[in-house]
Amino acid sequence: MISSNAMLGKGVVIHHPELVNLYGCTIGVGTRIGTFVEIQKNAVVGSDCKISSHSFICEGVTIEDGVFVGHGVMFTNDRHPRAVTPEGTLQTDDDWSVVPSVVRRRASIGSNATILPGVTIGEGALVGAGAVVTRDVPDHAIVAGVPARIVGWTHDKPQPQAEAAGSSGRVS
């Protein structure tokens, strides 16, 4: 289902419109979206991105141009989610606030990665399959694992901080 309030740029490719769920979001020119993808209101996906099947892009996520999102990638926007208030009534939009995340241009996110709220994944960075990203990822870093740690740097632009990341290798 593509809601009438989803704003799709020219040349967006969605092979099976009946098998996606897009509402209140903005999708840039030429981006390709696989089956069973959900993109929520107020999420922004840039131009020339590839969003692979079964991924979930929630409210508050901004994805810049040329980003690859693998299969089954889960974004999140609430660090301490609850179904109900302390009084036991169902939560409404007034009971929590969206924590935004950003994926900078030309980054790639491997399949089944989970992106915790409030992180920035840097330009050209590469998130390994199955990683849980809990902290910001520097530009051009390769991160993997749970929690995600720096395991290398992409060849397109090696970063001198690689050694400075040192023994902990934890994403900063």
Ligand X SMILES: CC(C)(COP(=O)(O)OP(=O)(O)OC[C@H]1O[C@@H](n2cnc3c(N)ncnc32)[C@H](O)[C@@H]1OP(=O)(O)O)[C@@H](O)C(=O)NCCC(=O)NCCS
Nearer to ligand X, 60 or 70 (CB): 70
Of the candidate spans 9-17, 37-45, 84-92, 139-147, the one that interacts with ligand X by CB under 6 A turns out to be 139-147
Q: Please state the closest distance from residue 43 (CB atom) to ligand X, in A.
A: 20
Among 66, 48, 72, which residue's Cα sits nearest to residue 57?
72
129 interacts with ligand X by CB under 6 A = yes
Please give the size of the binding site for ligand X, defined by CB under 6 A.
12
Which residue among 145, 162, 169, 170 contacts ligand X (CB under 6 A)? 145
* Rounded Cα–Cα distance for residues 163 and 6 (Å): 44
Tokens found for residue 21: 């769920």
Identify any residues that bridge with 69 across adjacent strands, giving them in sequence order.
51, 109
**Which alpha helices (DSSP H) does the chain contain, by range?**
161-164
Nearer to ligand X, 81 or 147 (CB): 147
Of the candidate spans 7-15, 21-29, 125-133, 158-166, the one that interacts with ligand X by CB under 6 A turns out to be 125-133
> What sign does the dihedral 55-60-61-63 (CA atoms) show?
positive
Query: How many angstroms from the chain centroid is the CA of residue 84?
Result: 26
140 an active-site residue?
Answer: no
Which residue among 14, 137, 142, 165 contacts ligand X (CB under 6 A)? 142
130 interacts with ligand X by CB under 6 A = yes
Catalytic residue selected from 71, 80, 140, 155: 80
Place of tokens 């009438």: 4
Of the candidate spans 55-63, 132-140, 143-151, 163-171, the one that interacts with ligand X by CB under 6 A turns out to be 143-151
Burial 43-74 (b: 16+ CB within 10 A, else e): bbbbbbbbbbbbbbbbbbbbbbbbbbbbbbbe
Q: Please state the closest distance from residue 95 (CB atom) to ligand X, in A.
A: 35
Tokens found for residue 18: 């009946």
Binding site for ligand X (CB under 6 A): 70, 110-111, 126, 128-130, 142, 144-145, 151-152
- Catalytic (active-site) positions: 80
